[in-house]
Amino acid sequence: MINHTFLLQSTHARAEGDFPASYGGVSIDSRTLRRGDIFFAIKGDSDGHDHVRAAFEAGAAAAVVENGARSLPEAPLIFVPSTVRALADMAAEWRKKLKNSKIVCITGSSGKTTTKQALAGILSAAGRSAVASRKSFNNHLGLPLTLLETDAEHEVCVAEVGINTPGEMDELERIARPDIGAVVNIGTAHIGRFGSKEKIAREKSRLFRSFGKQCGFAINLDDPLTVEIASALDCDKAGFSARNTSAEVAAADIVCSSRSVSFKMKIRGREFPVTAPVAGAHNVMNFLCASALGLLLGLSPDEIAGGIGNFTPAEMRMQVYEVLDGVVLINDCYNANPDSVAAALEELGRLKKSGGRAIAVLGDMLELGDLSGQYHYEAGEKAARCGVDILIAFGEEARHIRAGAGDGVRVEKTVSHEEAADIIKSVVRRGDFILIKGSRAMAMEKIARMIGGR
């Protein structure tokens, strides 16, 4: 429950109307708002001020709007210069009240959501009270909402933290002030805005600039840039690796199926056979990262290993199901960057070995700057090396993907979701495997739905 006085003091707001003593929660979406919530009118893809009336009709107890917004008769309104800043300021002050809750922040170029889901599953199986970011709520709006969901009785808050432009991390660090954290990896996501992987690493490291001896950091020992970040931190550390079996958390004997990945997990010298209900060998590193974070939170090796199977996959992230009468669809539509595309293609190639053809539908990878053509060419090359039989290149970068794939792969180009779905339906046959992946703005899930996916 959020106290009305706390809200006014933390946002330096001006109130107009009659208000309750407290609010059930915070919402920025009138469609999902719960009765008793306070509604923040955020200007984004749509202007939240256009939905204030709908928020009150849905049961909002009050609304935070920007100065100059139109008043509503008898509607309790709170006026601020910026609703985005007010939400951030309130979350930052709320975080200071969470003295008995450990704030875990997970950042990195890819794998953040899977790592977050894995840690949430481990904590739940161990009986720990925890809050985790919904969906991929990881930016200047999602992070405050996650913190504001956390109450004093929660032992842990697991927050995903993402950035796509230089300078963003300082504000997110001000809001979260994490106790424990991890950089899952440093890759090429958004490299067009940062310039290099080294600059991405420096920006990611800003999330931990206030770390002291009482804090904890999970180190990806297989990534030199995350090791470099860790070397600058004076805190408790736990390393994880899929290559070095002497690491505190390690993996060996990885076996993949279309719907799970099994491996021997080694935690502080003890070995546990585990199976995670998600496809993709690349996801092993995400589970190792979550396990290292579990150690830093004080969980035992038995608790950690016992919670691996309690994983709930996030939507559109290596979700596997059957479509079109005997065809396996790998829905990895949520987002894409060169590293995650390569990993998904490798998984598609592995699945092909069990029989059937490999069909890849690859959408544009955005925010790659001057290197975009090169990275899309390399995606085509990777598809060919992984044994893709039919490649459907979707978007403005299709010509580069096609060029990279060469003459050994059948390539179809399109900029239409409908045409892409029609191509799939015209070429697919029972036993095939289909991978669909692209950047968020490409809305690749539309293609998945058109062929019977969820």
Give me the residue label for tokens 């038995």. 302
Q: Report the percent of the chain where pLDDT is more than 70.
A: 100
**In angstroms, rounded to a whole number, what is the distance separating the alpha carbons of residues 179 and 114?**
20
Tell whether the model's pLDDT for residue 454 goes beyond 80: no
- Does the structure show a pLDDT above 90 at 44? no
> Average pLDDT for residues 217-223, to the nearest whole number?
99
pLDDT of residue 262: 98
Opening angle at CA 336, ends 311 and 371, nearest 5: 150
Residue 106 pLDDT: 99
Among all chains, which residue has been given the structure tokens 């899929």? 242
Examine the pLDDT at 162 and tell me if it is beyond 90: yes
Mean residue pLDDT across the chain:
96
Residue 58's pLDDT band, with cuts at 50, 70 and 90, is very high
CA angle, 301 then 302 then 308, to 5°: 90
What's the pLDDT band for 78 if we cut at 50, 70, 90? very high
Please report which confidence band the pLDDT of residue 250 belongs to, taking 50, 70 and 90 as the band edges.
very high
Cα–Cα distances in angstroms (integers) from residue 199 to residues 68, 196, 206, in the given order: 40, 5, 11
Q: Which residues contact 325 (CB under 8 A, 6 or more apart)?
A: 430
Q: Is the pLDDT of residue 386 over 90?
A: yes
Q: At residue 410, what are phi and psi to the nearest 5 degrees?
A: -75, 120
Q: What pLDDT is recorded for position 8?
A: 95
CA distance 377 to 267: 40
pLDDT band at 135 (very low <50, low <70, confident <90, very high): confident
| Percent residues over pLDDT 90 in the chain | 93
| Distance separating alpha carbons of residues 239 and 178, to the nearest angstrom | 18
Residue with tokens 């405050």: 144
Token digits of residue 126: 């161990």
Residue 410, CA distances (Å) to 246, 357, 387, 389, 424 in order: 44, 12, 11, 6, 12
- 246: three-class secondary structure by DSSP: coil
Residue 333: other Cβ atoms inside 10 A: 27
Q: Which of 430, 422, 414 is nearest to 451 (CA)?
A: 422
211-220 burial code (b ≥16 CB/10 A, e <16): beeebbbbbb
Residue with tokens 């963003």: 168
- pLDDT of 1 above 90: no
pLDDT tens per residue across span 251-306: 999 999 989 999 999 999 999 999 999 999 999 999 999 999 999 999 999 999 99
pLDDT at 29: 96
The pLDDT of residue 72 is: 83
The average pLDDT across 375-401 equals 98
Is 234 exposed, middle or buried (CB count within 10 Å of its CB: 0-12, 13-18, 19+)? Answer: exposed
Could you give all domains of the chain from N- to C-terminal order, each with its CATH number?
2-88 (3.40.1390.10), 98-310 (3.40.1190.10), 319-450 (3.90.190.20)
Instruction: Output the pLDDT for position 274.
Output: 98
Confidence (pLDDT) at 147: 98
Q: How confident is the model at residue 73 (pLDDT cuts 50, 70, 90)?
A: confident
